[in-house]
Structure 1
Amino acid sequence: DADHGINMDRGFTAVMDKLPGVEDKDIGTILKTAGMALVSPVGGAGGPLYGTFFMRAGTAVPNKYELTNGDLVALFEAALDGVVQRGRANLRDKTMVDAITPAVDELRKASAEGVDTVEALRRATIAAEEGMKGTIPMKALKGRASYLGERSIGHQDPGATSSYLIFKAFLDTVSTHT
């Protein structure tokens, strides 16, 4: 929805303002800095949820300047666990969890198969997109959308959408820098 998009834009503008100060730091520090920057400017539940996502992700990969597939799995598992813990959402509640969970599952599979990092992220991004689209027929059980009840059916969840876009951004960045 527009409110979520505006808040996410505001939050990631704050992230971009903070990144020059940590560009020479390890990936964990960069992710934690992004998480801290997201908490305040993003309204509603989005700030704490995405802040937790990035802070937990950063905590999972301390002192790393390059990431293996195993690191990516640990990073996104920690991010997902943080979001589930903070938001108390489950799969099929029509939330960001519906995009993140299948992406993490796909990262685990790709890592076990030994595919390269770009391919692992490509598969995870496809899974996140499928999870995002899968929210359309769902009735929202968490968040503001849950107040709409049956009227939430037929609309894509904004949090699942922004979560998919985060996976896509990871893929685009890694694809460009490998």
Structure 2
Amino acid sequence: MSIPTEGESIQIHSYKHDGHIHRVWEETVVLKATNNLVIGGNDRTIVTESDGRTWITREPAICYFHAKQWFNIIGMLRTDGIYYYCNISSPFVHDQGAVKYIDYDLDIKVFPDMTYILLDEDEYEQHRKQMNYPEVIDKILKRNVDHLIYLIQQRKGPFAPDFIDKWYGKYLTHRG
């Protein structure tokens, strides 16, 4: 797996377990990249859905991907605070100018006051049966939901008080 370079513009590709593309974010600026971690920033980027429809993100976002964790986190900077959208997913790979991962449907939405809700449990169950998620994957995903909730409650990692602001500041320096 290659490592993107700081300042480079990459795409984000989300797939489903069966290998079909789910969603593509057109442009994200790499703010930090190591073998295990990519932190990126974007604002008003084009997103293409699997059916070809496109939309544009409404606010600046900081994206956190880890090569050993089964989730990724998007911190969205809105006028009333930072909202987090957490995708339960495979660890990422960087390949051909894109961060790629498998989206496993379950999501956690975190509000500025750090309350949260687990989303899409019905969709997860439907896809788990349709695409025959192996039992080992099911267990890993559920363990990672618990780990993510722990990080939210403890305000650790990307949920630490200054994390998003720090990386957004860095994003602004790259944008010029």
Q: How does the TM-score come out when normalised to structure 2?
A: 0.29
Higher helix share: 1
Higher strand share: 2
